[in-house]
Amino acid sequence: MNRRDFIRKAVPVTALPFLLNGFPLRAYGRAPFLETLVAAASATDRVLVLIQLGGGNDGINTVIPLNQDSAYMNVRPNIAIPLNSVLTLSDHLDVGLHPAMGGMKSLYDEGKLTIVQGVSYPNPNLSHFRATDIWLTASDSNVTLNTGWLGRYLEDEFPDYPNDPVMPDPLAIQIGAVVSFGLQGTARTMGIAIQSPDTFYQLVNAGRGGGTDTAPDTPAGRELTYIREVAVQSQAYAGQVKVAADKAQNRSALWPAAGQNTLADQLKIVSRLIAGGLKTRVYVVNLGGFDNHSAQVDVSDTRTGIHATLLGRLSTAMMAFQDDLRLLGVEHRVLGMTFSEFGRRVSSNASRGTDHGTAAPMFLFGQPVQPGVVGSNPSLTDLTNGNLKMQYDFRSVYASVLSQWFGVSNTDLQAILLKGFQQISVIRPGVAVNVEEPDIKPTDFRLLQNYPNPFNPSTTIAYEIPRESNVSLKVYDMMGREIATLVDEFRPAGRYKAQFHANGLPSGTYIYRIQANSFSDQKKMVILK
């Protein structure tokens, strides 16, 4: 089903639109509600907030590879950020953030930000619409799905819906005109949409009359008053949203003034609803404008321009949101995550912009995250058709969030994501509820990138073998001298992890190499002391 057919079929059949002071508010489908989670095996009060960066964010100018300064300046002579302005990370001196990202730098310093490097998928698609659908459905690039990854997760939690009792709190809320495709289940959309911040405030300020203004005492005015009242009262979720909003008020002084930062306006609503006790599990918000083919930076100063403005809004909104959650006493319940449909090409174009590319960083933020940098800086010279190489499949990040944050079982992960994916550590130890690898037999030989990387003093090396094999896993220095033998034995099919301890070894680049029957592969890792 293409996007037009999805919207045409999903919206008119079940949407019940009504106006609140002229702003439409819609409920898509008979969304399942969270009170049923009281009896669910995976009952939780944990919340996931997704920030979609529409247009394809330029990851190279967002997370800047400081260990490749010459290559960076050479491939981006007209848009490169002056390296003396980059915000460096104290524990990863080769990684820097755009100078507009002061708020996110503060979150990193507070241990509330994780950067996952080089996220993409095999054979990436560079069309905005198709790439977005792939990220929202968690499909392979050559497979079209009619359900979203979060829709399948929520539907898996409620297999008997709609026969479950209808409860007042929506499972998912999208701040936007249309519910995200990522929330689409097999038979229904698993969430609701609040069209805009204006719509929300019209609702919560309306009282029983359904509007902030007073309708005139005329036949038309009395009819308008009645329509408003019926509209609000007829929608259980609208009443519950208002109840939750009335229980909490935003407290952070970091919020920008209304209308100055559209992302902050959306997150301000999310924070208030979470603190007000709404049991919604997933929120989706958006910040668009990242398709910067031209004028990405200003002519006079590459530190400013369209991209810098967008990153500044993202950073400011995230910092204010996290501060608000802290002051409201709910930050321990909330995990945030950003995603964009793709990154940009390594080389800038003649218009001071960048064209559609592949891999880019993802950010996870909040008190629960395992802070730091996952993966290494992407190479700006070892490319595929001028694009960055993938380090992590985006579905590995999804699997990690579902498993470690929501406690989704390995069996259910397979059903939701349609195959098994490597997990990475994104939630702090003691907070994560499920850190097991999916118990799925591998279909191919694979040697995975070590984590963490760079590391000190130890790192984990994972590999997969689809059948019984005699496995040899060894570590070498750059001169080819053997440093350590981690595995040298016959092993049955499965997924395995080996720990490598760098005690006594100097900082530098090392090679780890696997030999399993006729399969062999090797990867680099960096010790940074």
The model's pLDDT over 495-514, given as tens digits with 9 standing for 90+, comes to: 888 888 888 899 999 999 99
Buried b (16+ CB within 10 A) or exposed e, 270-287: bbbbbbbebbbbbbbbbb
Q: Is the pLDDT of residue 397 over 80?
A: yes
Q: Is the pLDDT of residue 19 over 70?
A: no
- Cis peptide bond prior to 454, omega within 30° of 0: yes
The model's pLDDT over 283-339, given as tens digits with 9 standing for 90+, comes to: 999 999 999 999 999 999 999 999 999 999 999 999 999 999 999 999 999 999 999
Which percentage of the chain shows pLDDT scores above 70? Answer: 82
pLDDT of residue 337: 98
pLDDT of residue 227: 41
Q: Is the pLDDT of residue 110 over 60?
A: yes
Verdict on whether the full-model pTM lies above 0.75: no
Mean pLDDT of 142-149: 96
What band does 394 get if pLDDT is binned at 50, 70 and 90?
very high
pLDDT of residue 220: 66
Instruction: Check: CB of residue 501 under 8 Å from CB of residue 457.
Output: yes
What band does 222 get if pLDDT is binned at 50, 70 and 90?
low
Mean pLDDT of 134-151: 96
pLDDT of residue 215: 62
Q: Is the pLDDT of residue 187 over 90?
A: no
Handedness of CA 106, 109, 111, 115 (dihedral sign): positive
Q: Is the pLDDT of residue 43 over 80?
A: no
Q: Which two tokens stand for residue 286?
A: 């958006």
Q: Is the pLDDT of residue 275 over 90?
A: yes
Beta bridge partners of 462: 497
Q: Is the pLDDT of residue 9 over 90?
A: no
Question: What does pLDDT average to over the chain?
Answer: 85
Which percentage of the chain shows pLDDT scores above 90? Answer: 61
pLDDT of residue 66: 96
Pairing label, strands 519-527, 508-516 = antiparallel
Q: Is the pLDDT of residue 84 over 90?
A: yes
Q: Is the pLDDT of residue 2 over 90?
A: no
Domains of the chain: 3-440 (3.40.720), 447-527 (2.60.40.3080)
Q: Is the pLDDT of residue 264 over 60?
A: yes
What band does 369 get if pLDDT is binned at 50, 70 and 90?
very high
pLDDT of residue 88: 96
CB atoms within 10 A of CB 525: 22
